[in-house]
Amino acid sequence: MKKKRIRTIAGMFLLAGLLFGCSGSQRLSDHFDEAEVKAAAEEVIQTLNSKEVEALVEEQWNTVMKNAADADMLKEQIVPIVEELGEFEGFDKEAVTGAKDPDTEQEFAVAVIKVKYEKRKAQFTISFDEDMKVAGFFIK
């Protein structure tokens, strides 16, 4: 029960970048390339799988995410979740959509990637800003 609550809280906390007013899914903006977004999302997942959370935060998080979820938080709350999944086996289904913050008009690309692990599957939802920095992160 406690682990489920921690996962839910961590997931909601990490999605903060996307939840700052972004409205529903829409067509991917011309500012983004779908293949590049998928590759960037896969890289984020692989970096997390290798537990290189400092690199993930420093190199791939945008400023909002750096303030919302630092490397220590990832080590304490997210890495254990990933470890429970077992060994990484591969990427499964992938989809990319767009999102736009109605207040700032900032556009985002949102990748939803299902990943196969040894013990079970996980679904990652990762949003990127126009600089291809992670603006939102959720694992389910």
2-28 pLDDT per residue, tens? 555 444 445 544 444 444 434 455 889
pLDDT of residue 38 exceeding 70, the answer is yes
pLDDT band at 104 (very low <50, low <70, confident <90, very high): confident
Phi-psi label, residue 133: left if phi above 0, alpha if psi -120 to 50, beta otherwise: beta
Q: What is the pLDDT of residue 102?
A: 87
- Whole-angstrom distance, CA of residue 17 vs CA of residue 86: 28
In 3-79, the DSSP E strands lie at 23-26
Q: What is the pLDDT of residue 25?
A: 56
Q: With H, G, I as helix, E, B as strand and everything else as coil, classify residue 18.
A: helix
Question: How high is the mean pLDDT of the chain?
Answer: 85
- H or E segment and range at residue 132: none
- Whole-angstrom distance, CA of residue 119 vs CA of residue 137: 22
Q: What is the mean pLDDT of residues 115-120?
A: 96
Q: What is the mean pLDDT of residues 51-80?
A: 92
Instruction: Label residue 40 exposed, middle or buried (CB < 10 Å: 0-12, 13-18, 19+).
Output: buried
Q: What is the mean pLDDT of residues 47-71?
A: 92
pLDDT of residue 130 exceeding 50, the answer is yes
Residue with tokens 């997210």: 78
